[in-house]
Structures are given as C-alpha cells and as structure tokens.
Amino acid sequence: MFFFLSKLIWFFIQPLGVLLLALLAVMAGFLFRSRRLARRLAIATAIGFAAICLLPVGDLIMLPLENRFQKPDRLPATLDGIIVLGGAEENRMSGARGEPSLNNAAERLFAALDLARRYPDTPVVFSGGLGDPWNGIPPQSDIFRDAMMMAGLPEQRMILEGQARNTDETIWLLKQMLQPQAGQHWVVVTSAYHMPRSMGLFAKAGWEVVPWPVDYYGLPPQLLPRANLVEQMAVLNIALHEWVGLLAYWATDRIDTLFPGP
C-alpha cells in the first residue's frame, strides 16, 4: 500500500503536477464565472513557474542532500560486498529494444565497475525490481546484469535481487539474502542525493555500511539560470522528490531521523 500510495501522491505534488492542478483550477474558475479568482490564480501560477525556471531553487534544495555524505578518504583493505542500488536502469526501453538501457544515473554502474576492479575478489550486489514479465519489461536486476556483463564483469561475481520496488524493500531483502555480520565491510553505491535516505534505512536495519555517493546534479547557485530550462526543472523535481521521500519515510518510522547524516 505504501508503494502505490507514494506514487499516486507524488504524481500530484511534483512541480508539473502542481502546475497542472493550478491550470485546471484556473479553467474551472473561468467556466464557473469566478473570473477574479481565476485571474489571481493564473497570475500566481505564472509568477511561481517563472521563479522556478529563472531562480536556482532546485540547486538550493539539492545541495544539502548531495553534500550530506562524502566518499571516505580511504576504504578498508578488503570489502565483503559492493552494493549498488537500483535506479539507473530504464525498464521499458530495455524491454522494447531488447538491450540494456540506462538513464542519467548510470554513474552508479561506472562506480561499481571501478570498485570491482580495485577489489577483484569482492562480489557486486544489486537490488532492483519493477519489471513486468506480462509486457516483456525486465526487472532492473536483469538490466544491471546485462550492462555489467557488456562492460566485462563476469556474471558469477554478481549477486542479484530482483523483487524490491523501493529503497526500503531493497535494504530488508538484501539483509535477508546476505545476512551481514558485525565487523564486515560493505560499501553502498548510489546517487549522492539518494544517499541520506539510503543510509538512514541501513542504520534502521542495523547494517553498518560505507557510503560511496556518485551522480551529482546540484551546482553552486548562480545569478543566471541554467541554459537548459528542462534541466533546471529536472533538478528541482529530483530534489523535491527526495525531500518528500525523506519526510514520508520518517513519518512512517522507516528512518529514525528526518535528515540522516554521518
């Protein structure tokens, strides 16, 4: 229920969802002859949308997420596993084209390959589902496996979990599968903005891991907006989604603090 409810709520509270609702409210105002209210709402919507496009709002709320955890200066001499969290895989496109397709978070896979090269005896662990076998859409774990094999990582070095639908399910399913022990060394690779929520979940599960953040989006605020307004909106959307996720996970007791830190 939490998974489906979170997707439904996010559809309406994401920036473009709010814009859609505002435009529908403006249209309803004109249709039902509440013209003054409709005009005021239209002006407020235009001002809000312009501010989002022209001001570094996305960067301002993205940077605290991405700067919360840093890569350690030194890793242990040995690792028990390199954990890669799903999210870089394009399920529908991979199913439609019959080959692994990745999105902007592909740095997660590159970082995992680099760590696998540095630790040749360490297994690479991946968790991610969201497949749809009825429509030929593979789970994220299949896409990850195929992409890593194309890059030269042998399949026997991978441990795959293909059922998790969100980060909460990922940590608990992996813990059941891997049975981590005290004193072991596990490193977790995910996007920097996603690291606070991920580390909060690992802490809640009593699993000590080393963060390895990659895939940065936030830039220091500048006077002029990004040249690409679509990129500007995308950064805001990603950052806002993560803050909403932190709030939801904290409110439902999935993490112990609203903004987990080192």
pLDDT attached to residue 26: 75
**Along the 262 residues of the chain, how does pLDDT read in single tens digits?**
555 565 566 565 677 777 777 778 778 877 777 878 878 888 887 888 888 778 888 899 999 999 999 999 999 999 999 999 999 999 889 988 999 999 999 999 999 999 999 999 999 999 988 766 666 688 899 999 999 999 999 999 999 999 998 999 999 999 999 999 999 999 999 999 999 999 999 999 999 999 999 999 998 877 666 777 788 888 988 999 999 999 999 999 999 999 999 9
pLDDT attached to residue 51: 80
pLDDT attached to residue 71: 96
pLDDT attached to residue 58: 87
What's the chain look like in SS3?
CHHHHHHHHHHHHCHHHHHHHHHHHHHHHHHCCCHHHHHHHHHHHHHHHHHHHHCCHHHHHHHHHHCCCCCCCCCCCCCCEEEEECCCECHHHHHHHCCCCECCCCHHHHHHHHHHHHCCCCCEEEECCCCEHHHCECCHHHHHHHHHHHCCCCHHHEEEECCCCCHHHHHHHHHHHHCCCCCCCEEEEEEHHHHHHHHHHHHHCCCCCEEEEECCCCCCCCCCCCCCHHHHHHHHHHHHHHHHHHHHHHHCCCCCCCCCCC
pLDDT attached to residue 135: 66
Q: What does pTM read for this prediction?
A: 0.84
pLDDT attached to residue 170: 93
